Amino acid sequence: MAVESQAPERPGSPPLINVADYEQRARDLLAPGAWHASFGDYGDPEWETNTNNVDGFAQLYLRPRILVDVSRRDLTTRVLDVPASLPVLVAPSGLQQRWTREGELAMTRAAAAAGTIMALSTVASYSIEEIAAAAECPLFFQLYWMRERRITENLVRRAEAAGFRAVIVTVDIPGVASRERDKRYSWNLTGEEYTTVEKERILRNFRGVEPGTNVPTWATFNASVDDSVTWRDLEWLRMITTLPIVIKGLQTAEDARLCAEHGIDGIVVSNHGGFALDGSRATVAALPEVVDAAGASIEVYLDGGVRRGTDVLKALALGATAVFVGRAALWGLAVAAEDGARHVFEIIRGELDRAMAHCGVDDVKTVGADLVGAV
Amino acid sequence: MAVESQAPERPGSPPLINVADYEQRARDLLAPGAWHASFGDYGDPEWETNTNNVDGFAQLYLRPRILVDVSRRDLTTRVLDVPASLPVLVAPSGLQQRWTREGELAMTRAAAAAGTIMALSTVASYSIEEIAAAAECPLFFQLYWMRERRITENLVRRAEAAGFRAVIVTVDIPGVASRERDKRYSWNLTGEEYTTVEKERILRNFRGVEPGTNVPTWATFNASVDDSVTWRDLEWLRMITTLPIVIKGLQTAEDARLCAEHGIDGIVVSNHGGFALDGSRATVAALPEVVDAAGASIEVYLDGGVRRGTDVLKALALGATAVFVGRAALWGLAVAAEDGARHVFEIIRGELDRAMAHCGVDDVKTVGADLVGAV
Amino acid sequence: MAVESQAPERPGSPPLINVADYEQRARDLLAPGAWHASFGDYGDPEWETNTNNVDGFAQLYLRPRILVDVSRRDLTTRVLDVPASLPVLVAPSGLQQRWTREGELAMTRAAAAAGTIMALSTVASYSIEEIAAAAECPLFFQLYWMRERRITENLVRRAEAAGFRAVIVTVDIPGVASRERDKRYSWNLTGEEYTTVEKERILRNFRGVEPGTNVPTWATFNASVDDSVTWRDLEWLRMITTLPIVIKGLQTAEDARLCAEHGIDGIVVSNHGGFALDGSRATVAALPEVVDAAGASIEVYLDGGVRRGTDVLKALALGATAVFVGRAALWGLAVAAEDGARHVFEIIRGELDRAMAHCGVDDVKTVGADLVGAV
Amino acid sequence: MAVESQAPERPGSPPLINVADYEQRARDLLAPGAWHASFGDYGDPEWETNTNNVDGFAQLYLRPRILVDVSRRDLTTRVLDVPASLPVLVAPSGLQQRWTREGELAMTRAAAAAGTIMALSTVASYSIEEIAAAAECPLFFQLYWMRERRITENLVRRAEAAGFRAVIVTVDIPGVASRERDKRYSWNLTGEEYTTVEKERILRNFRGVEPGTNVPTWATFNASVDDSVTWRDLEWLRMITTLPIVIKGLQTAEDARLCAEHGIDGIVVSNHGGFALDGSRATVAALPEVVDAAGASIEVYLDGGVRRGTDVLKALALGATAVFVGRAALWGLAVAAEDGARHVFEIIRGELDRAMAHCGVDDVKTVGADLVGAV
């Protein structure tokens, strides 16, 4: 049975027992603009997709089985042959210094403590090499495909050289996203200090590319993301790296079949947490058709709306190998840096462990589809 | 990629980023009675149909396709062979001097700037000829069929002579509408000035008809609309004009089949924005059965509830050739005259363009039905 | 086209435009206890059935047909061969002196003015004979079947003798109803005056029965209602009267078939406005299975939740011959006595008339089932 | 017809007419922490399962039958051949001294007065022998299966020796439950007095076990519950007792079939009132598949969400032999000790009796499935 780590409680504040507590605490701590710009606002019809993700899990119920020996529960799994102590990974998320001074460095320590894998964003606050040098957890690299092909190649080769274990290609083209949040809310966090850090850190990953390329700045980043990439380009990517290739941002059976035809290794069913196209289904609602179409040769993961161990179990029952957690881990960072993120993972681990016991599941790798029904 | 025009911001007011912002700003600016009389009140069970229209789009989700080259998106289309820079047209709406001093004249300038087609209402603040003389955008003429056949004929012949490109016949008989809003709320806008304009302008179109006919006044207008028109009368209309004929206010497959049998050129699936019969479906819910029954020879459009570029894309995926926008454009007029209406169209264009990129759609004329699913 | 009567407006009060206005005005005028005891409270989960009735209509949408000549709409109908100017009848409702000094007498005048039929309750504030002598509208008699068979017989024979045109047998056994409202709220209306009237009037109908029978008082009324009545007893009723027999309180196809087997003339699909069994469907949801099972030989009516002309049209489309209106008419009485009730009928008539025009329906007697769809 | 007992009213408080009144009164009387820790909070998304249970009944409607002689209604039934005056039993619930000084002793008196069966929790405030000596109602024993097999055996043998009539084995493993409520809320009721009682009483049942066994304390209780029990262990239980064996906490057809194969006598469809696994269906939603799969040889009961007599009738229509009531009876205890719990049973009895009359049901043992439909 899992041992839960201690919550980083503060005297006088409500206890931090579940992810909703972290969400509330983070909201209390952050400037309203920073909160809204990055985490949206449930109930705001403008940003319904993120709410859909959360509600999607509530539309599913668990069908617990009884009188199974669950005295030993195995939460360990392998993702693209990389071991993890639980089927919950750190989602790639940019500029984590927004949430705590050491940003992604703190997150790698939380991931290592939790025994899980962390995905690093192209637009991290630290470079590929800085993270690789410091991290004690396994790393995946999230790739934004840049118009300038040499930059894309540079990023992938550096990630492979630095020991990253997979490339996650984001294909939902956030470069063209509406960014209404950015227009509506100030994206600066706490003012001066962050601004300084920001200047120093933002888009640090692009510093390593050769001079003469059209290196993106923050102002030109969106326009620098390539919106002409097709399956044929994926073949080029396959040629320049031996790393497993994961497609992130896929929502349909049609595209899952194309992944299978193109030898893709993994799929993240994702709508970019509601930041790309509004009007998408809950990712957990799209998961079944993707799993069916992907077939046995591709691992399927999910992100979006995971707040509870029962959410993880539902996703596994529907065929996911693992889930990625974004917001929840970032709220942990915002509340108590590494300790907060680590505790969030322990909360979810404890909930998953208990949910397994209640459901008669003793191994996350063999969760049956009958465990879930739809309201 | 579309270039968005600047919003007509005012210091100290919230930014105008989407149509909901325009709605709120217009509501703040208008007298409450004027607001309620013309735009109803979401959530008021009395006027549920308009709310249905908006909610209908939320019942549909998009199924985005990935790894399609969307670096060039073509938003242009043709409506009854008239080119438009985007598949979003100006809905016919009466007495636009209610919203800004130059009313429909300002709207024609916004439509021209947006590169789209404007439909002029029979009960416009300006006459057919005044609009035709000033407009730089293509024009359609919306016809209320009057009991006095000579008036109807006069209107159609003048529209054709003035260079209008189609006749849109409104068949949902608003002449018998309940007009609860009118009873409950004062319809005068801001008092004296409007009243003067009103006296001068209202029903200006009927001034051109021959003396001796029973020319409607504002007080007799509703009773002057013909509620005995049948398909046979449409054949008469076909004889007196060479313009394409569009039926507006159709909601069923049965009537779409009758349109096909009677050689109708276009259908606007519409419930008059909730102003005719309460208790209708969302227009986007009625759209599929109409498209199926209309067959390939008739273009189908929709109005009602369009607030977002994703709404446009959903309607196209369900078979619409284009949509008409009423309230959104009028809110633009009310907020900042021509500039406001133009900006509203640019907002929707930008949203549609981004939604296409996210969905793997590069041409509004070839949107597939698989792009949409129902919750 | 219908001419609407004038509303009995009061200076300074909101206008009375629809039934919801009457509901609100009545609520404002009545003592809270009287309101809650008799009209329940929407949204109170204890009394969900009445809310179900109202919501049931909202679950249906209209499918309007176009280009039908609706310049002449015929709202007249016949109910059990009795003519009515519209398919909306006055539901039986007890002790109408609670709402206005002349109670059912005022209601007969409103019914006569509206050209419709009124059903008189067994527990009216006036006797069968008093109402028959004064009424200029056709009358039906609502029968509570009493344990003492001679009382039941007496009531029926007196109704027939007095010229009533049908007997409506209430079979949902309100005698055993929970009457939570009565326990929770004081049922006295406005105190002294009503109490005096009450003493004089209540259960006036039982005064005409022969001495020696066990005449119910208000205190013993519930226990005096017979809960052992079966279909066999209906055969006895058939023998003692030549009046058409209507069963009120039926909700299932099974019982509709039994009505057909027993030669019943009419059925009121009803849940006693939510006052009998809580947890029933909306009556409009039960209507289709009843209509199907009843077959062509039985007229089917509905009560419960009718607030709008569109509700009437929906019920007709689903096979009802007419609807009964209870609460709405009583709110009219409470607001402005006869004038209020009459105006309520005119409001509904106007709404029905307009809804017919919008829907391409020119006769209430030939409304097709295709006019309605379910959300 | 049932005679309702008097409510234990207090001057100045709202009347106690239904279970919702008891809930509100109990909530007013208890310390907030105690309330939340034990009864959760409807609407709190953390504890959705309990809310699901209540809402599940609202998703079902009754289809009342008419003109049935219901002048004599038989509410008596037999549960595992033990007679009960109504098909509503006292659910096992721990430490009832939390709610009133005499805890389970008071509940036995209420059960005896109501003519029903009480299930005693393993973690009662009184021992098996104390309850057996005092109780005038039939008793069932609820068993938590302890890791130390000798303790489990001791409990069962003592219950059988003391005259208990069945063993209810709880299999939803609450020992591993999250107990978020316990972390978030203080579980002490009213302070000092309770604490003293607590020290004396808690886990009193374990005092009777032989020295040398690993007797659980409150602190070690959760970890002492065996999470390795399987169907094979049930065979051992069958060997050591002649009592009927009931499985509590089953939610699926698959497990109901296994019960049939293993000769189980009864099933309680239960999700532990929402205290075990969150994200379960309403028990009344799971009931039909369990009844179907269990077959005729097993009696099926339900707990969770029963608040009304109509809820009981719905469960019977779906195949339950009886229901267990937990929260409602405990609210009765908290409000007025034995009198309160007794009154709660009389309220439900009265509601069930009236619902039967309205539905044409004269015997709880022959309620047909056609009585219920789903919204």
Pick the more confident residue, D276 or C339.
Answer: C339
Facing D62 at nearest CB: one of C171, C254, C277: C277
- Which positions in chain C touch B281 (Cβ < 8 Å)? 61, 63, 373, 375
Using 50, 70 and 90 to split pLDDT, how confident is the model at A198?
low
Distance CA(A175)–CA(B71), nearest Å, equals 11
Phi-psi region of C9 (alpha: psi -120 to 50; beta: other; left: phi over 0): beta
Give A297-336 pLDDT, tens digit per residue: 999 999 999 999 999 999 999 999 999 999 999 999 999 9
Give me the count of residues in chain B.
375
What is the pLDDT averaged over residues D223-245? 95
Q: What is the mean pLDDT of residues D9-30?
A: 88
Across chain C, mean pLDDT equals: 89
Q: Which residues of C touch B230 (CB under 8 A)?
A: 67-69
pLDDT, tens only, D176-195: 666 677 677 655 444 434 44
Tokens, residue A31: 């400037």
CA distance A56 to A306: 10
Mean pLDDT is lowest, of B91-100, B305-314, D138-147, for B91-100
Q: Which residue of C has its CA nearest to D353?
A: C176
CA neighbor of C192 nearest in space, from C330, C26, C22, C31: C31
Residues of C recognised as catalytic: 272
Q: Which pLDDT score, from 0 to 100, does residue D37 have?
A: 78
In angstroms, the separation between the Cα of residue A271 and the nearest Cα of chain B is: 9
Strands B77-79 and B266-269: unpaired
Tell me whether residues B62 and A247 touch, CB distance under 8 A. no
Which chain B residue is nearest to residue C58, measuring alpha carbons? B279
pLDDT at A192 over 50: no
- Which chain C residues have a beta carbon less than 8 Å from that of D67? 171, 229-231, 233-234, 247, 255, 258
pLDDT at B27: 92
Show which subunits contact C, needing at least 3 CB pairs below 8 angstroms.
Answer: B, D
Helix (H) or strand (E) segment spanning residue B373: strand B372-374
What is the spatial distance between Cα D139 and Cα D162, in angstroms, rounded to a whole number? 10
Contact D66 C171 (CB under 8 A): yes
| pLDDT at residue C187 tops 80 | no
Number of neighbouring beta carbons within 10 Å of residue A186: 13
pLDDT at A12: 78
Cβ separation A358–D46 shorter than 8 A: no
- pLDDT at C335 > cutoff 60: yes
B73 in A contact zone (CB under 8 Å): no
Query: Strand C322-325 to strand C372-374: parallel, antiparallel, or no bridges (unpaired)?
Result: unpaired
Nearest chain C Cα distance for residue B228, angstroms:
4
Predicted local distance difference test score (pLDDT) of residue A49:
84
Give per-residue pLDDT as tens, D339-375: 999 999 999 999 999 999 999 999 999 999 999 999 8
Q: What's the confidence (pLDDT) of residue D206?
A: 75
D335 contacts: CB under 8 Å, gap ≥ 6: D8, D16, D22, D25, D26, D29
- D174 compared with C259, residue with greater pLDDT: C259
C-alpha of A350 from chain center: 20
Poorest-pLDDT segment among B318-322, D113-117, D223-227? D223-227
Q: Residue A363 pLDDT more than 80? A: yes
Asked whether the beta carbons of residue A277 and residue B314 sit closer than 8 angstroms, the reply is no
Q: Give the per-residue pLDDT at B281.
A: 95
- CA distance, residue C349 to nearest chain B CA (Å): 12
Q: Nearest-CA residue of chain B relative to C65?
A: B255
HEC string of A19-43? Answer: HHHHHHHHHHHCCHHHHHHHHCCCC
Task: Tell me which chains share at least 3 CB pairs under 8 Å with chain D.
Answer: A, C
Weakest-pLDDT range from C35-49, C92-106, D69-83 = C35-49
CB contact under 8 A, B69 and A227: yes
Quote the CA–CA distance of D256 and D142 in Å, as a whole number. 19
Active site amino acids of D? 272
- Using CB atoms, pick whichever of C20, C67, C351 lies closest to residue B178: C351
Instruction: Taking residues A370-374, report their average pLDDT.
Output: 96
Q: What is the pLDDT of residue A375?
A: 86
pLDDT of residue C126: 92
- Name the region of D36 (left: φ>0; alpha: ψ -120 to 50; beta: rest): alpha
| Of the listed ranges A96-100, B83-87, B348-352, the one predicted with least confidence | A96-100
Least confident piece of the model among C46-50, C174-178, C313-317, D259-263: C174-178
pLDDT surpasses 90 at C185: no
> How many CB pairs below 8 Å do chains A and D form together?
87
Question: Token pair for residue B251?
Answer: 């909601």
Residue B104 has pLDDT above 90, yes or no: yes
Mean pLDDT of A202-225: 73
Paired with A82 in beta bridges are: A79
B1 pLDDT band (50/70/90 cuts)? very low
Mean local confidence (pLDDT), C93-111 = 94
At C219 the pLDDT is 72
Confidence at B160, pLDDT banded by 50, 70, 90: very high
**Picking from A26-35, B122-131, B206-215, which range would have the lowest pLDDT averaged per residue?**
B206-215
Question: Closest chain C residue to D17 measured between Cα atoms?
Answer: C180
Report whether C297 contacts C310 (CB < 8 A).
no
Quick one: pLDDT at residue D78?
A: 98
H helices present in chain C, as ranges = 19-29, 32-39, 48-58, 103-114, 128-134, 149-161, 180-184, 192-201, 221-224, 231-240, 253-261, 283-294, 309-317, 327-359
Which helix (H) or strand (E) segment is B303 a member of?
strand B299-303
Angstroms from A41 CA to nearest CA on chain D: 17
Separation between Cα atoms, residue A151 and residue A213, nearest integer Å: 7
CA pseudo-torsion sign C334, C340, C345, C349: negative
D252 part of contact set with chain C, CB < 8 Å: no
pLDDT of the residue at A4: 47
Sign of the dihedral defined by the CA atoms of residues D259, D264, D270, D273, in that order: negative
Q: What is the pTM of this model?
A: 0.94
At A232, list the tokens.
């044929």
pLDDT of amino acid C42: 54
Please give the structure tokens belonging to residue A169.
């290609």
CA distance C63 to chain B (A): 6
Residues of B in contact with C306 (CB under 8 A): none
pLDDT band at D43 (very low <50, low <70, confident <90, very high): low
Mean pLDDT computed over D94-107: 93
Q: pLDDT value at position A42?
A: 55
Q: For position A178, what pLDDT does the model report?
A: 62
State the Cα–Cα distance between residues B86 and C232, nearest whole angstrom: 72
Whether residue C178 and residue D350 make contact (CB cut-off 8 A), yes or no, is yes
Answer whether C48 sits within 8 Å of D58, measured CB to CB. Answer: yes
State pLDDT tens for residues A156-181.
999 999 999 999 999 997 666 666 77
- The residues, any chain, with a CB within 8 Å of residue D260's CB and separated by 6 or more, are D293, D294, D295, D297, D298
Answer left, alpha or beta for residue C263, where phi above 0 means left and psi between -120 and 50 means alpha. left
Cross-chain Cβ contact B62/A280 below 8 Å:
yes
Higher pLDDT, C205 or C121: C121
**Predicted local confidence at residue A43, as pLDDT:** 55
Given this model, what pLDDT does residue A189 score? 42
State what percent of residues in chain C have pLDDT above 90.
73
> pLDDT tens, A297-307?
999 999 999 99
- Does D338 have pLDDT greater than 50? yes
Predicted confidence at residue B3, as pLDDT, reads 41
**Choice among A349-358, C207-216, D84-93 with the minimum mean pLDDT:** C207-216
Average per-residue pLDDT for chain B: 89
Query: Do D and B touch, counting CB pairs below 8 Å (3 needed)?
Result: no
Q: Which residue has the higher pLDDT, C276 or B40?
A: C276
- State how far residue C21 is from chain B, nearest Cα, in angstroms: 11
Per-residue pLDDT of B222-245, as tens digits, reads 888 999 999 999 999 999 999 999
Contact list in D for residue C254 (CB cut-off 8 A) is: 65, 370
Average pLDDT score over residue span D104-120: 98
Instruction: Tell me whether C48 touches chain D (CB under 8 Å).
Output: yes
Q: Does D1 contact C176 at a Cβ distance shorter than 8 Å?
A: yes
Q: Which of B262, B272, B343, B358 is catalytic?
A: B272
